[in-house]
Amino acid sequence: MSRGVARLPWLLIAVTSLLVLLGLSAISRGDELSGGALYQRQLVWAGLALPALFVSVLLPYRKLRHYGWPLLMLTIGLLVLVYFMPARNGARRWIPLGPILFQPSELAKLVTILALAQYLMFRENYRKVLGLIPPFLIALIPVALILREPDLGTSLLFLPVLLAMLFAAGARPHHLAIVVMLGVLVAPVLWMGMSAEQKSRVVTVFTQKDQGPVPRGDGYHLFQSKRMHSLGGEWGSAISGVPPVDPSAYHLPAARTDFVFCLVTERWGFVGAMVTLVLYALLFLQGIGIARRTRDPYGRLIAVGITALLAVQTSINLAMTVGLTPITGLTLPLMSYGGSSLLFTAVAIGLLINIHLRNGYHLGPTPFKF
């Protein structure tokens, strides 16, 4: 027992715990500024995420190989089911389950990684350009369904995750470069299919204002986001105790979800922002390390997919709060308010721990190369 405890990736566990605590602190600050009781709800979700993480650690991950395709079919069914649910804020992304809202797209991100890992683990045909078609089709089905909700931000996560997994599985880099170039060529088609609101968010990145006032509408979220970043100063309101100069500066829609990082910088300042970035960097390095040490192709591909997913989603979320990318509606993993997001991120972290503990498995006929 003590030997098993000693083998746990304690740095990964500590980093994950600190990020969740930072998120709870930020959500609590959001409740103070705008009212509500989301902190208590997120605390409940954190309590539910803990046993979910334990279960995903205890069950040998290799058994998931037998359930990848059934889980993908179930997830596709749930993504179709949301079309028949009531719209919320102009989108159909949630399935009401009594007092809670379940978001199937969060499940889809993890299940797609499992299905891709199962497909890629022993195959060689993806080393040819035409061999890339099947894995892209696997990812395309949930992407198309999520786009129709509409949820452009989540759908954009699948391509970089797929590319990372293909690269880790041995696909030729120049073939992947061709895919990226094709993606750039079809970008105008994607632009034409975007809604007016989505186009406005893209345009705002190039027309953003650093001085106000900015009327509600185009650019308002971004302006208020950068404004709140500046309020924290070096140490933040939690330490300095400086009262707000302008109460309107604290009005930021979706502060506890999409813009939770702004609450971190307001409460803990520049120091808190740097601590958050370091914690995420350590999280990603831990994921990469687990992937490199794992000899089992299936486990390594899962680790690569999860690490890529967390890294890309985190980068996009942080970048959008300072105006480097359009506002996409993506949550900040482990920190943003949202039960589905926290629950499935905890399961993903649990799988990383699971793979770390069982990295001696070797199922491939030849050594797996990374």
pLDDT tens for residues 320-341?
998 888 888 899 999 999 889 9
**Predicted TM-score (pTM) above 0.85:** yes
Q: Pick from 274, 277, 269: which is nearest to 240 by CA?
A: 269
Taking residue 70's Cβ as centre, other Cβ atoms within 10 Å add up to 11
pLDDT at 233: 81
Q: Which residue is it, tokens 């520049």?
A: 270
Alpha-carbon gap, residue 234 to 268, rounded angstroms: 8
Instruction: Look up residue 236 and give its two tokens.
Output: 């933040």
Phi-psi region of 57 (alpha: psi -120 to 50; beta: other; left: phi over 0): alpha
Q: Of 111, 103, 51, which Cα lies nearest the Cα of 302?
A: 111
Contact criterion met (CB below 8 Å) for 318 and 261: yes
For the chain, the domains span 8-357
| 28-39 pLDDT per residue, tens | 888 887 777 888
* Pairwise CA distance, residues 261 & 23, whole Å: 8
Query: Quick one: average pLDDT of 16-36?
Result: 88
Quote the tokens at residue 56.
Answer: 């995903």
Closest of 119, 110, 165 to residue 138, by C-alpha = 119
- pLDDT tens digit sequence for 81-111: 999 988 887 788 989 888 888 999 999 999 9
pLDDT tens for each residue of 72-87: 999 999 999 999 988 8
202-256: per-residue pLDDT in tens? Answer: 777 777 666 555 556 567 778 788 888 888 788 887 776 665 556 666 677 788 8
Closest CA to 231 of 247, 210, 216: 247
Token readout for 130 is: 């035409």
Mean pLDDT score across all residues of the chain: 85
Report whether the peptide linkage leading into residue 213 is cis, meaning its omega lies within 30 degrees of zero. yes
Over the stretch 279-289, which tens digit does the pLDDT of each residue have? 999 999 999 99
Kindly tell me the number of DSSP H helices and DSSP E strands found in the chain.
Answer: 16, 2
Asked whether residue 187 carries a pLDDT value surpassing 80, the answer given is no
